[in-house]
Structure 1
Amino acid sequence: MSRRPVNPSRRIGDGGSMPFVASIQSKSQNSPLLSIGLVILGAILLIGYCYSNSGGASNDIKDLSKLEGGSSCTLEVLQALPILKKAYGDSMRKVLHVGPESCSVVSSLYEEDDTEAWGIEPYELDDVSAKCKSLVRKGIVRVADLKFPLPYRAKSFPLVIVSDALDYLSPKYLNKTLPELVRVSADGVVIFSGYPGQQRARGGEVAKFGRPAKLRSSSWWIRFFVQTSLEENETAGKKFEQASAKKAYAPACQVFHLKSYP
């Protein structure tokens, strides 16, 4: 049984077979302003989409807000940079950041005048930006396991900032890693650590970090500093608190200030 051939002479809208379509065509012919308006609307939407995806550092902050499933201490570092400058002055001219999303912190620091920055990413980099890949190729950001000695000489950096990294280490490795961070610093170490009870990453947390985050209280950290012979930098801590009060800044993470070795 053969199929009936399509009659090429029949077109949509001919002979009133499609009155609805015919009415639309008639209206579109009579209303050229409608087509122009649709073109303008499409252009506005396209420009808005492109603009929203070209935010640079602002996009980094938005992405980081989702980094830990609700709480990111690396996001806090980005927000606290003006406060840290007030507290540490010239020591902020050369900084080592240690922690996940280190490329974002290093990129933000490089936007400042007379500032050098390096980073250590303690976990494998997945789906990173072209800017981050460039920083890794240049050796500015390194991927290094914090359970081993850091690839820097003593006092290589005036200031070391660490975020979202120590929370994933057991006390066994903290005993090695934290003194290493102090060793490579000349003027101090700033630690951004999560508060107990904060929401952190769940889905791929164990797969990426090796263990769930262990969010410890401030009293636990203070005892640990004493046990490992690390001294808190009270002067820098007070300057940080004073600058925070003036800027009405309340960090969502715990912030600790340690002195470097003599």
Structure 2
Amino acid sequence: MSADDRFFRLITTNTMSRRPTRRFTDGGNIPFVGALHHKTRSSPLLSVGLVVVGAFLIIGYLYSGSGGSSSDKEIVSKLEGGVSCTLEVHKSLPILKKAYGDSMHKVLHVGPDTCSVVSKLLKEEDTEAWGVEPYDLDEADSNCKSLVRKGIVRLADIKFPLPYRAKSFSLVIVSEALDYLSPKYLNRTLPELARVSAEGFVVFSGYPGQRRAKVVEISKFGRPAKLRSSSWWIRYFVQTSLEENEAAAKKFEQAATKRSYKPACQVFHLKSYH
């Protein structure tokens, strides 16, 4: 083989070995992207279609379950990494039923998102439920607005007397509302909760330093939430002549232990005034 033949063969070999490298870099470092463009022109539309379908599937999943109400709030709560004591009421309803039995037949819930709690209670057999919403209902859904029109849920400032007669309800459950009240207004609200309940009331309150899932730093009451310790609450209950409902508290603890349920909020069981 002559020197010219060897030179020609060397050039040809080097050129062929570089071709795959040029094709790969032309494709933006994505394998097979060039082949896809040559095979079909509809691939961008196909990609967009897959993204749209995927988005609809995700939205459908999020809204599946209990009508896109409490389940949506639970998802938001988990994403934000905070704690909602009203959501905790949802989780603890089976435990409360074990602790209060017949007292769960006529229930009043007081606190934010009361429509979701009332709706869930109304699905229970032999249960009547009402609610008091201490915040605005500007973003309420159609189900909540329907409960308000029927008078089942009321918008009321709990710093003032509740719009119900004495012992109107067998059990009152309050969540995420007392945390926003100063001792001055707690002196009015706590006796009201005891007044309208016949067989006791339950308070769900956040722990000190706990981050809230539903952040309403400046609420209707014009002050940020102040999360207090259990010892603070117990002292305050004693000062307002409220007694612990020991029997209900014991049943609640036993049912919670049996179900391996640990409340994310403080739960106080109190007696009504007699």
User: If the TM-score is normalised by the length of the shorter chain, which range does it land in?
Assistant: 0.7 to 0.9
Cα separation, 1, equivalents of 2:152 and 2:202: 20
Structure 1: which amino acid aligns with 2:252? F
Q: Following TM superposition, by how much is the alpha carbon of 1:62 offset from its aligned partner in structure 2, in angstroms?
A: 2.5
Number of residue pairs the alignment of both structures matches: 239
Asked if 1:105 is matched to 2:114, the reply is no
Asked if 1:61 is matched to 2:71, the reply is no
Cα separation, 1, equivalents of 2:242 and 2:193: 11
Structure 2: which amino acid aligns with 1:51? Y
Q: 1:51 aligns with which of 50, 61, 72?
A: 61
Q: 1:142 aligns with which of 145, 151, 154?
A: 154
Structure 2: which amino acid aligns with 1:126? D
Q: Is the CA contact (8 Å cut-off) linking 2:135 and 2:219 kept in structure 1?
A: no
Per-residue CA deviation, residues 60-104 of structure 1 (Å, 9 max, x unaligned), is 43345579x712111110100000000000111211000011111
Cα separation, 1, equivalents of 2:75 and 2:213: 16
Q: 2:104 aligns with which of 92, 95, 99?
A: 92
Percent identity over the alignment? 67
Q: Is the CA contact (8 Å cut-off) linking 1:65 and 1:72 kept in structure 2?
A: no
Q: Give 5+ residue unaligned stretches, structure 1.
A: 1-22
Structure 2: which amino acid aligns with 1:154? A
Cα separation, 1, equivalents of 2:105 and 2:138: 29
Write the mapping of 1:1-262 to structure 2, written as runs, cut at 5 A.
27-28=39-40, 43=53, 46-55=56-65, 56=67, 57-63=70-76, 70-200=82-212, 204-262=216-274
Q: Provide runs of 4+ in structure 1 moved above 6 Å.
A: 23-26, 34-41
Q: Give 5+ residue unaligned stretches, structure 2.
A: 1-34
Q: Is the CA contact (8 Å cut-off) linking 2:181 and 2:221 kept in structure 1?
A: no
Q: Following TM superposition, by how much is the alpha carbon of 1:50 offset from its aligned partner in structure 2, in angstroms?
A: 2.2
Per-residue CA deviation, residues 10-46 of structure 1 (Å, 9 max, x unaligned), is xxxxxxxxxxxxx9787338x99x9999868865653
Q: Is the CA contact (8 Å cut-off) linking 2:77 and 2:214 kept in structure 1?
A: no
Cα separation, 2, equivalents of 1:256 and 1:204: 23
Q: Normalization by structure 2: what TM-score?
A: 0.77
Q: Is the CA contact (8 Å cut-off) linking 2:207 and 2:265 kept in structure 1?
A: yes
Cα separation, 2, equivalents of 1:216 and 1:101: 22
Cα separation, 2, equivalents of 1:203 and 1:254: 18
Distance 1:251 1:45, change over 3 A: same
Whichever of the two has the greater Rg, that structure is 2
Aligned twin of 1:13: none
Distance 1:39 1:98, change over 3 A: same
Q: Normalization by structure 1: what TM-score?
A: 0.81
Cα separation, 1, equivalents of 2:219 and 2:108: 26
Cα separation, 1, equivalents of 2:179 and 2:46: 57
Per-residue CA deviation, residues 102-141 of structure 1 (Å, 9 max, x unaligned), is 1111111112122111100111123121111111111111
Cα separation, 2, equivalents of 1:134 and 1:166: 26
Structure 1: which amino acid aligns with 2:235? R
Per-residue CA deviation, residues 216-252 of structure 1 (Å, 9 max, x unaligned), is 1111111111111111100000000000000000001
More displaced stretch, 230-239 vs 122-131 = 122-131
Q: Is the CA contact (8 Å cut-off) linking 1:164 and 1:192 kept in structure 2?
A: yes
Distance 1:207 1:219, change over 3 A: closer
Per-residue CA deviation, residues 169-209 of structure 1 (Å, 9 max, x unaligned), is 01111011000001000111000011111123797521544
Q: Is the CA contact (8 Å cut-off) linking 2:179 and 2:205 kept in structure 1?
A: yes
Q: Is the CA contact (8 Å cut-off) linking 1:120 and 1:144 kept in structure 2?
A: yes
Cα separation, 2, equivalents of 1:192 and 1:217: 12
